Structure 1
Amino acid sequence: MKRIFFLSVSIIIIIIIIIIMVSFFYWQNNDLVITKHVINSDKIPKGFNHYKILHLSDLHNKNFGKRQEKLVGRIKEEKPDVIVFTGDIIDRRSKDLKPAALLIDQLVELAPVYFVPGNHEWDSDLKRKLETLLMKKGVVILTNKVRIIERNGERIEMAGLDDPESGLSIRSSIKRISEKMQPDLYSIVLSHRPTWFNTYTRAGFNLVFSGHAHGGQIRLPIIGGVFAPGEGFNPKYSEGIHQQDHTSMVVSRGLGNSSFPLRIFNRPEIVVITLQSE
């Protein structure tokens, strides 16, 4: 009788542990967190004071509720002036454009959207279909291109670097956009890969948005991110703001997953940057 009792108790405890673990992993991979930063610079025109940039990255075809309603709802609350997406909105293993299409349909109703491809766009058979969709919806694809943004009679510039998976190196892409940029304007650059931070700094970019690292996938106290593609273990550029000279780089932890299916202590992230003229 005692054996049956202890066996029953053990089974109940195991079931409770499994329920707790499943709930925890679901929460870690689906509950969105919003991270906010202020970027100060005397190069930011006063006309762009309090200009709000919402940064998304690495969706990897993930759904956040029916029709992406959870993600779009959180974005709406922030009332961004512009939305930037730094690649991997699709996943190379998927043949489904629907999660990306549902998100883009709604983002363009909220603010102008700028996009640069990541390695998964270049590795996917859906790349051309995605580009056609983005252009049809009015998204600006900044593959080695520069655009001027005007506000309150003043200007800044937004540029984007193509992913090296395209066959063109980061340095070659930087050379292409640098020839088109105006040194007197505050520069914002989108690039999927954060590991080239020193190169972005030498190029003189003021503000860089990047992703790719997925926050290190698993984050631990003190250690931070555990592993990131292109950086290996204990990655230096897995999330947050990195500053060197006159360059700030914002690295998003991203929204979805790729090869490794779980996020641990690393919830999906929306980043909001507010510009402040000094």
Structure 2
Amino acid sequence: MPAVKTAAAATLGTLVAGIGYAALIERNAFVVREATMPVLSPGSAPLKVLHVSDIHMRPTQRRKQDWLRDLARWEPDLVVNTGDNLAHPKAVPAVVQALGDLLAVPGVFVFGSNDYFAPRLKNPANYLTNPGHRIHGEPLPWQDLRAAFTERGWLDLTHTRREFEVNGLRIAAAGVDDPHLTRDRYATIAGPADPTANLTLGLTHSPEPRVLDRFAADGYQLVMAGHTHGGQLCLPFYGALVTNCELDRSRAKGPSRWGARTQLHVSAGIGTSPFAPVRFCCRPEATLLTLVAAPTGGSDAGSEAGQSHPTVSAR
């Protein structure tokens, strides 16, 4: 019996230490990851894209705000924000001030569920056993955040197709509202992506396969999403436990190929719900993507290269 008690105490101590590390250290260990994805049309110059997602901001999170403010030093050509910026009704000023100089850079965005509704306390077992369970909190001031973004020149791609130019490259982009809340209406943007653009870009908050399939069928070279938090709780040599959507665990974060001619990038995100403030083996991140021309002049070859040999680093 003493041996059993000793083992139990050791197990409990390890668990407590792991929770403390996940809540106090890794949750605040922000990192910028870099990846190269060959998706642009032949002859295109490289394009630096900063992907931010799932900030889940509260007004008192000074460390997160300072880190976000410093992202401008990476000097991206384009910022892509795939939603879940808020976690508090008074967080809009904190988000806007933290993004700071990035709002002067060309940007596009769509919103997620935690731009529309505040998080609420849930049964933590649902994270593993019933990730599709929905409990909405109080409404959040997403209209104010949208106004702040668009007043500074960022484009809202919610159920919209837009064409714009960045550094001499023509980008044809489209996005949907959050599939996690079944707000997506892909029919509003359906149709072949412009094959003459240097980049065809699709945005969605939650990377639901039904939406990714539609983007792929319309010929989008790159689709960007967030929502998964990279799994948030991961295990060494196993990866994400869940993705909180229908996407398979192997694609919980980073670049992968979707179908024959489309690449997918899923951000592991920057924040967490205030009711689940832990990360384990899944640091909070923004991603600096360097988009380059596909090596054989087709997005198919580029997609294979991006999936099989991605160039990824963390700083």
User: Under TM normalisation by the shorter chain, which class is it?
Assistant: 0.7 to 0.9
The alignment status of 1:90 with 2:86, answered yes or no, reads yes
Of 244, 247, 252, which aligns to 1:238?
252
Pairwise CA distance, 1:153: 4.5
Of 63, 66, 70, which aligns to 1:69?
66
SS at match of 1:135: helix
TM-score when normalising by structure 2: 0.71
Tell me the amino acid that sits aligned with residue 102 of structure 1.
Q
Relative to structure 1, is the Cα distance of residues 45 and 147 closer, same or farther in structure 2, using a 3 angstrom cutoff? farther
**1:122: which partner in 2?**
116
The alignment status of 1:183 with 2:195, answered yes or no, reads yes
The structure that has the greater radius of gyration is 1
Paired residues, number: 256
- Cα shift readout 1:210-252 (whole Å, capped 9, x = no counterpart): 00001111111121111232249x7343111120311000000
Tell me the amino acid that sits aligned with residue 107 of structure 1.
L
**What does 1:20-59 align with in structure 2 at a 5 Å threshold?**
22=20, 25-41=23-39, 43-47=40-44, 49-59=45-55
2-side partners of 1:254 and 1:79: how far apart?
20
- Cα shift readout 1:160-188 (whole Å, capped 9, x = no counterpart): 2222367643xx32x32234842332301
**1:137: which partner in 2?**
152
Moved more, 82-91 or 59-68: 59-68
**1:7: which partner in 2?**
none
For structure 2, which runs of at least 5 residues remain unmatched after alignment? 1-12, 118-138, 296-315
TM-score when normalising by structure 1: 0.80
Contact 2:163 2:172 (C-alpha < 8 Å) held by counterparts: yes
Contact 1:64 1:70 (C-alpha < 8 Å) held by counterparts: no
2-side partners of 1:242 and 1:76: how far apart?
26
2-side partners of 1:66 and 1:208: how far apart?
30
Pairwise CA distance, 1:67: 8.2
SS at match of 1:46: coil
Contact 1:114 1:140 (C-alpha < 8 Å) held by counterparts: yes
Pairwise CA distance, 1:22: 4.0
**2:206: which partner in 1?**
193
**2:287: which partner in 1?**
271
2-side partners of 1:151 and 1:87: how far apart?
22
Contact 2:191 2:218 (C-alpha < 8 Å) held by counterparts: no
Tell me the amino acid that sits aligned with residue 86 of structure 2.
I
RMSD, matched Cα: 2.9
**2:6: which partner in 1?**
none
Contact 2:30 2:285 (C-alpha < 8 Å) held by counterparts: yes
For structure 1, which runs of at least 5 residues remain unmatched after alignment? 1-13
Relative to structure 1, is the Cα distance of residues 165 and 222 closer, same or farther in structure 2, using a 3 angstrom cutoff? closer
**1:106: which partner in 2?**
101
**1:9: which partner in 2?**
none
1-side partners of 2:37 and 2:92: how far apart?
34
Indicate the percent of aligned positions where both proteins have the same amino acid.
28
Contact 2:112 2:205 (C-alpha < 8 Å) held by counterparts: yes
Moved more, 55-64 or 27-36: 55-64
Contact 1:215 1:239 (C-alpha < 8 Å) held by counterparts: yes
